Chain A
Amino acid sequence: MLYLIEQCLNGIQLGMLLFLLAAGLTLIFGIMDLVNLAHGSLYMLGAYFAATFAAVTDSFLAGIGLGLVATLVAGMAMEVIAIRPLYGRDHLDHVLGTFGLLIFFNELVRLIWGPAGLTLSLPAEMLTAVQVLPGIYYPLYRLVIILATLAVALLLYVLVMRTRIGMLIRAGASNREMVGALGINIKLLYTLVFGLGAALAGFAGMMQAPLAFVQIGMGENILILAFVVIIIGGIGSIRGAFVAAIIVGMIDTIGRAFLPDLARHFVSYSAGSSAGPALSSMMIYALMAAVLVFRPEGLFPASGK
């Protein structure tokens, strides 16, 4: 039971990270109609920036703050230089062009930071565990991730639903041409949205960095998961992304935690250990395939589309 609660919290934590990535991806997808395979590169860049700035300033928080600004700027520069010409072209062009960017960023990171990878270490006060329920201890940092992400999600909600810029973003998602025709600087709006998405992805990368290693290609597998999330949630829908991210995070974590034991009842011990994680990953893709077949618009389609 203790184990189950702990794993549920882990699932939520992974789900929140996925949400950060998926929110940017779904905004970019919904508004600019752009399939961005280089979104995972921004996740990677965020982690590298934060690790570097944290090492320079010797402060975790400063690393995160400066890293966020750097990722935002990198994302906006990327949009202006490389992404802008891709708008309005077909999806195959997006796949190919952003796949090229992904290769470029992997190589650029290798050039700047070297092939070895970095670590981002937590301040000492973060390394404790807290009692979340009587008798249940949970690492403080993972709780911080959940809370920080929830705060970001709330901010995003307020930004999109309650501000003028959010209104433009929503208007852009339902009818791009009309927003442009009404005299809104659509180019600037796109750059802002892309930068916002980049910062969200970078934030996810730097939150994950202390739990894992900061390395080249770290964004590639989680990017595909983020795509799964936005397909399940419905393209362009932030609410859908939120729910789907938690579903996917839970399936992945719970599956990894319990399926190996289950599988070991049927096959040998070591076969079960490797089949378990594979099964839980498969379940995620099976869910996505099922959603695409039966409800192609996603579980929570963006309204007005």
Chain B
Amino acid sequence: MRAWLTPRNAFVAALLAILALLPIYVAVTGNSFVMTLFTRIMILAIAAVSLNLIMGFGGMVSFGHAAYLGIGGYVVGILAKEGVTSGLVQWPLALLLSGLFGLGVGALSLRTRGVYFIMITLAFAQMVYYIANGLDRYGGDDGLTIHHRSEFGGLVNLSNRTVFYYLCLALLLACVYGVWRIVNSRFGQVIQGARSNDRRMRAIGFPTFRYKLVCFVIAGVLCGLSGVLLANHTYFISPALMHWTRSGDLIVMAVLGGMGSVFGPVFGAVAFLMLEEILPPLIKPFAALFTILTGIDASHAHEYWQLALGPLFLLVVLFARGGIDGLLLESSRRA
């Protein structure tokens, strides 16, 4: 019999409980920073979950996933600038364009594999990045401020911070559930089969190219949604949204969280964005100790927390290939 109360499940439940109850904590303490931070975390978690669908389950390492963030964001921003603020126009159009972009990129990229795939997805993302840079009317490389969040008539009011927070949470859960259903469907089995042995899958009669392409498009649409939310969240879009290092961040989130499971990237997004909050205070006591022992002033050491971040990635790659989720699973098995 499988025990349900494994450390991993407890962890997932705790995280979900925290996410669900956070607005209450914010209402009591008035600490709205936490809410902004977690809204951002959930939005990027959607992007990481979508990347993991193609990267973790499909073996398609896309180094241009941030392009969809940009496409989703720019559709919202450009329409808002042109006076179309209705979310019923903005959102479907953003998702449609993300999907079409995914279709085009996928149709060309999926002919290649390995490092060539990494590079061609990067190339297409760079093209979108430079298009955004060249859009003089929409801010060029300075970016564009969005004055109003998408409007849904009287349906939901996104300008309300709590409503927006819960919308992001709901969409994140829907994405995780959707990806989980995809992964465990026949379609998902074909995708995973193609990852481990593409030739064999084709030999037994699956047109894997088509399967992978559909999967690639789905991931693009989901990440486009993340871009739509991100633009609404920050009231701002700029080409920096899809700088290649942003695509790197998304890969880090997926791998850090664990590519083996649907929920892993959510852990990854939380960990990646929380490290910025957690590492500096962690460094402070060590710096103080260092000052006491050596007499050298290290009171600014916590400002250089990224110095620890980089080697941390390397250590994850070398020793914790399964990411956070893998570590939790292992402790679950031992329990």
Chain A interface (Cβ < 8 Å from any Cβ of B): 29, 35, 37, 82, 85-86, 89, 91-93, 95-97, 99-108, 110-111, 220, 224, 227-228, 231, 235, 268, 270-271, 273-279, 281-282, 285-286, 288-289, 292-293, 296
Q: Which residues of B contact A282 (CB under 8 A)?
A: 127, 130-131
Chain B interface (Cβ < 8 Å from any Cβ of A): 55, 61, 63, 108-109, 111-112, 114-116, 118-120, 122-124, 126-127, 130-131, 133-137, 140-141, 244-245, 248, 251-252, 255, 304, 306-307, 309-314, 316-318, 321
A100-B317, A275-B136, A296-B111 given; name 9 further pairs at CB < 8 Å. Answer: A82-B314, A92-B255, A100-B310, A101-B310, A103-B309, A227-B119, A275-B134, A281-B133, A292-B116
Q: Which residues of A contact B314 (CB under 8 A)?
A: 82, 97, 100-101
CA distance A274 to B119 in the complex (A): 26
Q: Which listed residue (A100, A285, A296) contacts B124, Cβ 8 A? A: A285
Q: Which of A103, A110, A228 has the most CB of B within 10 A?
A: A103
The 3 closest A-B pairs by CB, nearest first: A278-B134, A100-B313, A104-B310
Q: Which listed residue (A35, A102, A111, A279) contacts B134, Cβ 8 A? A: A279
In the complex, the answer to whether A271 meets B137 with C-beta atoms within 8 Å is yes
In the complex, the answer to whether B304 meets A224 with C-beta atoms within 8 Å is no
CA distance A10 to B112 in the complex (A): 34
Q: A100-B314, A227-B122, A296-B116 are in contact. Are A285 and B140 (CB under 8 A)?
A: no
Q: Which of A106, A224, A271 has the most CB of B within 10 A?
A: A224
Q: Which of A106, A270, A274 has the most CB of B within 10 A?
A: A274
CA distance A10 to B304 in the complex (A): 38
Q: Which residues of A contact B137 (CB under 8 A)?
A: 271
Q: Which residues of B contact A277 (CB under 8 A)?
A: 130, 133-134
Chain B residue with Cβ nearest A231: B119
Q: A37-B248, A91-B118, A293-B108 are in contact. Are A285 and B130 (CB under 8 A)?
A: yes
CA distance A145 to B118 in the complex (A): 32
CA distance A82 to B61 in the complex (A): 22
Q: A82-B314, A100-B314, A107-B310 are in contact. Are A270 and B61 (CB under 8 A)?
A: no
Q: Which residues of B contact A103 (CB under 8 A)?
A: 306, 309-310, 313
In the complex, the answer to whether B133 meets A224 with C-beta atoms within 8 Å is no
In the complex, the answer to whether A95 meets B63 with C-beta atoms within 8 Å is yes
Chain B residue with Cβ nearest A100: B313
CA distance A103 to B312 in the complex (A): 11
Chain A residue with Cβ nearest B310: A104
Q: A92-B255, A97-B318, A99-B252 are in contact. Are A108 and B307 (CB under 8 A)?
A: yes
Q: Which residues of A contact B310 (CB under 8 A)?
A: 100-105, 107
CA distance A36 to B136 in the complex (A): 34
Distance in angstroms from B51 CB to nearest chain A CB is 11
Q: Which residues of B contact A110 (CB under 8 A)?
A: 304
Q: Which listed residue (A107, A270, A275, A278) contacts B307, Cβ 8 A? A: A107
Q: A96-B251, A285-B127, A285-B130 are in contact. Are A35 and B115 (CB under 8 A)?
A: yes
In the complex, the answer to whether B255 meets A224 with C-beta atoms within 8 Å is no
In the complex, the answer to whether A224 meets B120 with C-beta atoms within 8 Å is no
CA distance A104 to B92 in the complex (A): 40
CA distance A228 to B108 in the complex (A): 17
Q: Which residues of A contact B111 (CB under 8 A)?
A: 293, 296
Q: Which residues of B contact A235 (CB under 8 A)?
A: 115
Q: Which of A86, A104, A105, A276 has the most CB of B within 10 A?
A: A104
Q: A89-B317, A95-B61, A231-B119 are in contact. Are A224 and B126 (CB under 8 A)?
A: yes
In the complex, the answer to whether A111 meets B304 with C-beta atoms within 8 Å is yes
Chain A residue with Cβ nearest B55: A92
In the complex, the answer to whether B306 meets A107 with C-beta atoms within 8 Å is yes
In the complex, the answer to whether B313 meets A96 with C-beta atoms within 8 Å is yes
Q: Which residues of B contact A293 (CB under 8 A)?
A: 108, 111-112, 120
Q: A82-B314, A85-B318, A220-B245 are in contact. Are A286 and B127 (CB under 8 A)?
A: yes
Distance in angstroms from B236 CB to nearest chain A CB is 19
In the complex, the answer to whether A231 meets B116 with C-beta atoms within 8 Å is yes
Q: Which residues of A contact B119 (CB under 8 A)?
A: 227-228, 231, 288, 292
Q: Which listed residue (A89, A100, A101, A281) contacts B130, Cβ 8 A? A: A281
